[in-house]
C-alpha cells in the first residue's frame, strides 16, 4: 500500500490515523486540493498551492506548511509512491478540538496528503463525449473555496450517475455555474463561454489553462455565465477538471448537444492541451 503524509511524517497508509475529534471529521471544517502529476512532475503546482492558500485564508485557517515545505513534501510523496502519473490530494483541517462550532484557540491544523495512480480518462469519453444532466445548484454561497464539505456535490454527481450520466451541470438563478466536480463551458458561434470567477464557482486550475490555450489560438473567451436555454442551444458543451482534463458533453438531459458529437473547438483545445502536457515544465 502507498505511503501518505500526515502532520510532518510519511507513514504507510494503513497506519495513518486521525482523531475522531478532528474538525474535518466532525464538522467538515477543512480545505483540499487535487493535483495531477505527469511523469513525476506536478501539473501547475504553483497555481494549486496559491489556491490552497486562498481557501485557507477564506476560512481563517493557518497554512501548516510553507510553499517550499509543500513542494518538498509532495516531491517526496510522489517518489515514495513510485513516480509516473499520479493524482496528489492535499487536505488541511482546523485540527483536533472538543466539538464546538466556534473556532478553537491554539490548535495545530491537521495536514494530510496522499497520492494515487492517475486514472486514465476512458477513451470513449473523448471519442464519443459524455452525458450530463442539469440540476439545481443546491450548494452554498462560497463555492470559490475548495472546501472538503462535498455532500451537495456528491449528491448531485450521484444523481447524474443514477441515470447513467457522468456529470451534473448546475443551474443557479437560471444560469449555468459549473459541474458537480468540474468547470463548465458552452461554445456558441465559435466563442467559448464560461462563468466568471466569483463565489459561485471554483476557480479551476484546468480552466485557467484552457483560457490561456484559447487565447494562444485566437479563440474568443467570454467569462460570462450562459442561461439554461443558451446551454441547451449551444454548439458545444465541455467540462474540465484536474483529473478529467477537458471533456466534451454530447448529451444533455438525454438530448444530443448539437450534432451529438465532440465539437471542433473542443478538438482544437484538446490538441493544445495534450501538446502542453507533452512539453513538460509546467
Closer to ligand PDD by Cβ: residue 103 or 276:
276
Angle, CA of 71, 6 and 142, to the nearest 5°: 75
* b/e sequence 94-121, b meaning 16+ C-beta within 10 Å: bbbbeeeeeeeeeeebbbbbbbeebeee
* b/e sequence 28-55, b meaning 16+ C-beta within 10 Å: ebbbbbbbbbeeebbbbbebbbebbeeb
Q: Which residues contact 70 (CB under 8 A, 6 or more apart)?
A: 49, 52, 90
At closest approach, how far in Å is the CB of 181 from ligand PDD? 4
Cell of 274: 495534450
At closest approach, how far in Å is the CB of 265 from ligand PDD? 19
Closer to ligand PDD by Cβ: residue 178 or 236:
178
Helix 45-58 and helix 205-216: axis angle, to 10°?
130
At closest approach, how far in Å is the CB of 148 from ligand PDD? 9
Angle, CA of 32, 38 and 40, to the nearest 5°: 90
Catalytic residue among 17, 126, 146, 222: 146
Strands 3-6 and 130-136: unpaired
At closest approach, how far in Å is the CB of 163 from ligand PDD? 20
Closer to ligand PDD by Cβ: residue 208 or 253:
208
- Under DSSP, the state recorded for 83 is -
φ, ψ for residue 7, nearest 5 deg: 45, 50
Catalytic, 146? Answer yes
At closest approach, how far in Å is the CB of 118 from ligand PDD? 11
The residue ranges that bind ligand PDD (CB under 6 A) are 34, 153, 178, 181-183, 202, 204-207, 240-243
What is the spatial distance between Cα 261 and Cα 248, in angstroms, rounded to a whole number? 8
Measure the N-to-C terminal CA separation of the chain; round to a whole number of Å.
29
Closer to ligand PDD by Cβ: residue 77 or 97:
77
At closest approach, how far in Å is the CB of 121 from ligand PDD? 12
φ, ψ for residue 72, nearest 5 deg: -65, -45
Closer to ligand PDD by Cβ: residue 53 or 261:
53
Closer to ligand PDD by Cβ: residue 26 or 148:
148
Residues taking part in catalysis: 146
Amino acid at each position: 500500500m502507498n505511503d501518505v503524509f500526515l502532520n510532518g511524517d510519511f507513514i504507510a497508509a494503513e497506519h495513518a490515523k486521525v482523531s475522531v475529534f478532528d474538525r474535518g471529521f466532525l464538522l467538515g471544517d477543512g480545505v483540499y486540493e487535487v493535483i495531477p502529476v505527469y511523469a513525476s512532475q506536478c501539473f501547475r503546482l504553483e497555481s494549486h498551492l496559491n489556491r490552497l492558500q486562498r481557501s485557507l485564508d477564506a476560512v481563517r485557517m493557518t497554512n501548516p506548511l510553507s510553499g517550499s515545505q509543500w513542494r518538498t513534501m509532495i516531491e517526496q510523496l510522489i517518489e515514495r509512491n513510485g513516480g509516473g502519473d499520479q493524482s496528489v490530494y492535499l487536505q488541511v483541517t482546523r485540527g483536533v478540538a472538543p466539538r464546538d462550532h466556534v473556532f478553537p484557540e491554539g490548535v495545530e491544523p491537521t495536514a494530510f496528503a496522499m497520492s494515487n495512480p492517475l486514472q486514465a480518462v476512458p477513451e470513449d469519453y473523448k471519442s464519443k463525449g459524455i452525458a450530463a444532466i442539469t440540476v439545481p445548484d443546491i450548494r452554498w454561497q462560497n463555492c470559490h473555496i475548495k472546501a472538503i464539505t462535498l455532500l451537495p456535490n456528491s449528491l448531485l454527481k450521484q444523481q447524474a450517475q443514477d441515470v447513467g450520466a457522468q456529470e451534473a451541470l448546475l443551474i443557479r438563478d437560471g444560469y449555468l455555474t459549473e459541474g458537480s466536480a468540474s468547470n463548465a463551458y458552452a461554445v456558441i458561434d465559435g466563442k467559448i463561454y464560461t462563468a466568471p470567477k466569483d463565489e459561485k464557482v471554483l476557480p479551476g486550475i484546468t480552466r485557467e489553462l484552457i483560457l490561456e490555450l484559447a487565447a494562444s489560438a485566437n479563440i474568443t473567451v467570454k467569462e460570462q455565465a450562459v442561461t439554461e436555454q443558451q446551454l441547451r442551444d449551444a454548439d458545444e458543451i465541455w467540462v474540465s477538471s484536474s483529473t478529467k482534463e477537458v471533456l466534451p458533453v454530447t448529451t444533455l438531459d438525454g438530448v444530443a448537444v448539437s450534432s451529438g458529437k465532440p465539437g471542433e473547438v473542443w478538438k482544437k483545445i484538446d490538441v493544445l492541451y495534450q501538446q502542453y502536457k507533452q512539453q513538460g515544465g509546467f
